[in-house]
Structures are given as C-alpha cells and as structure tokens.
Amino acid sequence: MKARNQGALEAIGILLLFSFLCSCSSIPEINVLYSLPSGSGAFKDRRLVMVIEDERKAKDIFGEGARDDFEHFAGFFSLSVARPEESGFKVGMFQVKGMIKETLKRRLENMDLEVVPTGPPHRPRLIIALKEFFLDRKDQRWTVSIAYEARLRKDGEVLSTQNISGQAERYSLVGHKALGDALGEILTDVVNRLDLSGLFGQAHLKL
C-alpha cells in the first residue's frame, strides 16, 4: 500500500513539474542584438551627462496584431551587444527605457566618452526623448518602429536637436525570433545614427 501511495505521489510530482515547465515555456522572450559601429576616439577622455526621457504618447508597445502572442510578456527584453566582427554577448534584461539607455550608453562609450547620469547645469547634457517604440504584426509580417529626439541642453536651454526614427519588417512565419531580429536591426540603426559631433556643431559648442 505504501509503495502504491508513493508511486502516486511521484506521478503527481512529475505532472506538477511538467505543468510548471510548460507554463514557463509559454512566456515569450524577445532576444535583441545591438551591433556597435567601429570605435572612435573623437571624444577621448571627455565626460557627458545623458538623460533618457520617455515622451511616448502611448506606453503600450504591442499593436493588436501582436498582443495575443505576448499576452504573458513581462516587459523585459534580453539584450546582447556585439562589437564589430563579433557575435555578441548578453548584457542583461531591460524594459524599453532601460534598453534605449543601455545601447546609447555603450554607443557613446565606444567613442571613448564617459557617460554620467548627472552634472552641473552649466555643462552640456544630452537628452534622449523617446517618442515611439511599437511592435506589431500585419499581413504575416512583424513590424517595428522606434523614434526619438536627441537634444543638447545647457543651463536649461535646448541648443540643438536631432530627430531619428526607423522601421523594420520581418516575416512572422518563423516565430518570435524574427521579431527580435527586426528589433535588433532597427535599434542598431537608430542608435548608431546619432550624430554627436553634429549636435555640438549646431550648438557651436565643444565637449
């Protein structure tokens, strides 16, 4: 009798473990790869304050076509960073604002800049105002849109701006990986298009 009860308990335990694993596997994960451009020493040994501001009108990142696929999405993206000619390495899990901040920080550090979160108001600071971050699926295609405005501000005054946006598409038939690929492609594009020299030149400032 004992052996029978023990066998039943073991079977229940296996079923519970299987159910737990299945529930975990149903939580979708979006893997994103950001690719750094070639390094530049244009701002070697300089320091810059960078602030990320979320100015999106709609905070929901999924459109109707993608919402059902990501019903249990926790809001965190698995971010990897790749240097030129390398496959990349994982740096962590980030929500939208954190992922934008992390990729831009690494982009600026790749120019030998030291990025800091705060500083005196008389020093120029880079404000990144996120305008759009939207993922959807239409006509069997994943679509990704990202837009932000880069502002150079000093003593509370905006001296120069750049508006940067991009879109990408991938066939959705190959699953969530295609969405991650599209997101990585457009994230790399919009981050690497930031022209810091142009911002300072437009403001007639030196870092």
pLDDT band at 205 (very low <50, low <70, confident <90, very high): confident
Side-chain-side CA neighbours of residue 190 (13 Å): 29
Quickly name the fold that domain 2-202 has. Rossmann fold (3.40.50)
Look up residue 193 and give its two tokens: 């298009």
- pTM to 2 decimal places: 0.84
pLDDT digits (tens, 9 = 90+) for 44-93: 888 999 999 999 998 999 999 999 889 889 999 999 999 998 989 999 99
Interatomic CA distance for residues 40 and 44, integer angstroms:
8
Per the CB < 8 A criterion, the answer to whether 152 and 86 are in contact is no
Find the Cα–Cα–Cα–Cα dihedral 20, 21, 26, 32, rounded to 10°.
130
Q: What is the pLDDT of residue 7?
A: 54
